Amino acid sequence: MKRSRSRSRRSSGGVSRVRALIALAVIGVSVAIALTVPVRLGLDLRGGTQIVLETRSTKAAKADREATDRTVEVLRGRIDALGVSEPTIVRSGENRIVVELPGVQDPKQAADVLGRTAQLTVHTVLGAAESPEDAAKDPAGEPGDEAKKDDAEKDETAKDGAAGDGAKKDDAADGAAKKDDAAKDDAAKDGAKDEESGERVLSDETGQALRLKAASLNGQDVKGADARFDQQNGAGWVVTVDFKDKGSDRWGDITGEAACFPAGDPQRRVAIVLDNKIISAPQVDPSVGCKAGIRGGSTQITGSFDAAEARELALLIKGGALPVPVETVEQRTIGATLGDEAITAAAWAAVIGTALTALFIIVVYRLMGLLSTIALACYGLISYAALAAIGATLTLPGLAGFVLAIGMAVDANVLVFERAREEHAARSRPSPRAALTTGFRNALSAIADSNITTLIAAALLFFLASGPVKGFGVTLGIGVLASMVSALVITRVMAEFAASRPAVFRRPHITGISTTGPVRDRLLRRNPFLMRHPRRWLAASAAVLVLCGSGILVRGLEFGIEFTGGRLIEYSTSAPVDPDRARTALADAGFPRAVVQSSGDADLTVRTEELTDAEADQVTKTVAGLGGGAEKIRDELIGPSMGDELRRDALIALALALGAQLLYLAIRFRLLFGTAAVSALAHDVVILVGVFAWLGKPIDGIFLAALLTVIGYSVNDSVVLFDRIRELMGRDKKTPFDRLTNDSILQTLPRTVNTGMGAMLILAALAVMATDALTDFALALLIGVVVGTYSSVFTASPLAIELYKRGGDVDLDKRKKARAAAKSGPAPSSRLPKPQPEHQEVP
């Protein structure tokens, strides 16, 4: 027996040392990254680069409002592929697009990538031609659309290529194309085109003129494109293009026709054209038979690309062609949308809120609370370092959500400490170290399930959504992973080390886990049967739901500029105007939601909701009064920065995330638990949106971030409660389900109260001290935390009881026994979980 205990202690000590090494390694790497990698700040905190694009009409398409809106969506995809997060993209007027990019290292390169039309086509080669000029004079066709000179200059990265999956480039295409080829092609005026047949003459990468058949494939047939380094064949950086089903068949037909001509014949080549320039014209491999073709559904564009050129070409092809060409008409540096005063107020609110949360945890859990506070500081460091390492953009709502995540990360520590308190109270000879070890083990399933459901949602938001919703998915995922490392590794290392010290062993009261706490003590004394009438709680929830939901129908939703668009007015003032003063003055004049940015030396940009001419004149008078006169440079209507496609993608991602969470909960628990949790979540969302409707608050990007945060919080609360129900059901097969649910509520209520208090202290500080925008953010989260805490207990639980009664999980006799037990009243004592056998540890 002694040998067994000795081996157990040695094994436990080895695992503890591994945890300690992992914790030190993670903290060390995080410190190094935080000190060496600068974090990218968003447009609201630091400003960035503004690029104004103008769409141009062609013979095929008119640059109207509809075409410009479609161009906005294509540009949004390109910006996402560039790795720029939290951009602002809006239509301005009929045919202008304003793009604002935070923290862009090379604004010129970004402008070039955004301005490329990226029209990809694949052509059968009909043979060699004399030259593009001669082809233009050929009676067979009039001169067609010609590539513009600036298009040729922008496309200096077009190189020689080879068709993949069996196609090789000919000898003439083997030479590396040089950048001055673009100028040569431009001088030759490539692009002579027969309008009736669609034939055209273009020069390949070596300067040879080729007559091309009308396009057989275009960008709409492309499924994806990816840049990679082909080390196996020595081709260097290549771009692999994958075609859709119909495109794959057409690719096979094109290469099959070309394979019917002898090697060396120009008609054995296939031309890949980007923006009216041949970027690759490979010969089909001799092994491919006539009419057989290449049926792999993909091709490779190869040449003397470097990594940046290959990735740029891949994202252009993958993002699709612009519906109409665009031209950069303006590029400038812009200031932050929030002033120094607003940022300072938010920073102080965050510091004070975090300090209050830390003080609360220390008061409740004493030494363990102090250690968890240190672990939470490590959590903040790890999250910050991860965001900096991946180049994520931090905005003010993101930072506020980050601070809130610190408050919510308390949850895992609270779960562990409450479990340890239960173990300590149930033991005849309690040991702080043994109670903590068992507490960590018993809390693991709840921590894992709640975090996995959140990670599922974060992953789907990242992969399926775009814009700020995608950025939220990144921040959410990093926060969840960092909180798990903080609670399960760093906190555990420090807590077990401290609990095993002789001074702590002799004074267990200083640990904070030797007492059950005032909330649990009161519940143990009274032992209320809260779930005696579950339908009454459901009726109360339904009444609140109808009351708040009616606000959506009666008052309607006041969407922000991001969803509705508005008006953009740019002024040139006689003297520089501080944006903070302008915001204050405009708010006093009746425009509290106006977004004000400095632009250039003495320019000021004001973005508001739609204004009448009289209201626009009032804005002008206010700005002129601050700047000693103001000249209106631009006055245009702007479209929404969250367009139809972005909103649709966000809703699809959110719906799939909820469905995936429901499926996970059904697998890990039961379908009725998943249904109850998702129903409670829908209840919370409707109430939050309805309250904002009654209050007349804007539904904007900041509210969207708050809503997504509330969704994660609400699911976590329900999962923790259902995990305890599952545990009690596994140990007790006789007690009615409603009684087990009631016991689970009483046992997890201290955790619910302490976690909610930790989050609300931070939110209260933000609501009181921060500016208007963050006040709305904090108000939405405060409502969400309160409603989410209520719904997990008094909506999800009663609903689970009613679903259980109707779900066939118990037979009729058991239902009768359950009703009889429910009428008999509360049991004499609460059912605390029985401790598992554990040897007494003596330091």
Q: Is 243 helix (H, G, I), strand (E, B) or coil?
A: strand
Match 């940009």 to its residue by tokens.
605
Q: Are residues 59 and 142 in the same domain?
A: no
Higher per-residue confidence, 812 vs 695? 695
Match 């790795």 to its residue by tokens.
83
Distance between alpha carbon 39 and the CA centroid of its chain, in Å? 17
Q: Residue 425 pLDDT > 60, yes or no? A: yes
Distance between alpha carbon 312 and the CA centroid of its chain, in Å? 23
CATH number of the domain at 153, please. 3.30.1360.200
Q: Are residues 600 and 519 in the same domain?
A: no
Inside any domain, residue 480: yes
CB neighbours (10 Å) of residue 574?
12
Q: Are residues 124 and 240 in the same domain?
A: yes
Q: Are residues 201 and 313 in the same domain?
A: yes
Query: Of 444, 441, 446, 413, which is closest to residue 513 (Cα–Cα)?
Result: 413
CB 776 within 8 A of CB 698: yes
Q: Are residues 454 and 364 in the same domain?
A: yes
> Helix count (H) and strand count (E) of the chain?
26, 24
Q: E strand or H helix at 202, and its extent?
A: strand 200-203
pLDDT per residue as tens digits for the range 528-559: 999 999 999 999 999 999 999 999 999 988 88
Tally of structural domains, the chain: 5
Inside any domain, residue 841: no
Q: Are residues 505 and 596 in the same domain?
A: no
Boundary-marking domain end, from 603, 638, 673:
638
Q: Are residues 449 and 522 in the same domain?
A: yes
Q: Which amino acid, residue 348?
A: W
Q: E strand or H helix at 720, and its extent?
A: helix 701-731
Inside any domain, residue 41: no
Average pLDDT over residues 81-98: 77
- Residue 66 burial by Cβ neighbours in a 10 Å radius (0-12, 13-18, 19+): exposed
The whole-angstrom separation of Cα 66 and Cα 62 is 9
Inside any domain, residue 413: yes
Q: Are residues 454 and 494 in the same domain?
A: yes
Q: Are residues 801 and 725 in the same domain?
A: yes
Boundary-marking domain end, from 621, 638, 655:
638
Boundary-marking domain end, from 577, 607, 638:
638
Tokens of 514: 């030797």
Q: Which amino acid, residue 264?
A: G
Inside any domain, residue 706: yes
Match 């509809």 to its residue by tokens.
66
| CA triple 167-170-176, angle to 5 deg | 110
Q: Residue 62 pLDDT > 90, yes or no? A: no
| CA triple 147-152-158, angle to 5 deg | 120
Expressed as residue numbers, the domain containing 180 is 119-319
pLDDT per residue as tens digits for the range 659-671: 888 888 888 888 8
CATH number of the domain at 97, please. 3.30.70.3220
pTM: 0.69
Inside any domain, residue 513: yes
Inside any domain, residue 189: yes
Q: Are residues 174 and 302 in the same domain?
A: yes
Query: Of 832, 837, 838, which is closest to residue 727 (Cα–Cα)?
Result: 832
Query: Of 417, 441, 438, which is closest to residue 365 (Cα–Cα)?
Result: 417
pLDDT band with cut points at 50, 70 and 90 for residue 24: very high
For residue 330, the cross-strand partners are 52
Please give the radius of gyration of the chain, using alpha carbons only, rounded to the nearest integer. Answer: 32
Inter-axis angle of helices 772-794 and 534-554, nearest 10? 150
Which pLDDT score is estimated for 686? Answer: 94
Query: Of 381, 406, 463, 437, which is closest to residue 656 (Cα–Cα)?
Result: 463
For residue 91, the cross-strand partners are 97
Q: Residue 424 pLDDT > 80, yes or no? A: yes
The whole-angstrom separation of Cα 401 and Cα 757 is 16
Q: Are residues 740 and 809 in the same domain?
A: yes
pLDDT band with cut points at 50, 70 and 90 for residue 169: very low
Q: E strand or H helix at 481, and its extent?
A: helix 467-485
Query: Of 402, 385, 562, 396, which is closest to residue 43 (Cα–Cα)?
Result: 396
Dihedral angle computed from the Cα positions of residues 750, 752, 753 and 759, in that order, rounded to the nearest 10 degrees: 140
What 8-state DSSP symbol labels residue 266?
A: G
Write the CA distances from 688 to 355, 451, 549, 693, 766, integer angstroms.
27, 23, 9, 9, 18
CATH number of the domain at 612, please. 3.30.70.3400
Q: Which amino acid, residue 647?
A: R
pLDDT band with cut points at 50, 70 and 90 for residue 643: low
pLDDT per residue as tens digits for the range 336-354: 777 667 677 777 877 888 8
Q: Are residues 183 and 259 in the same domain?
A: yes
Inside any domain, residue 559: no
Average pLDDT over residues 82-110: 75
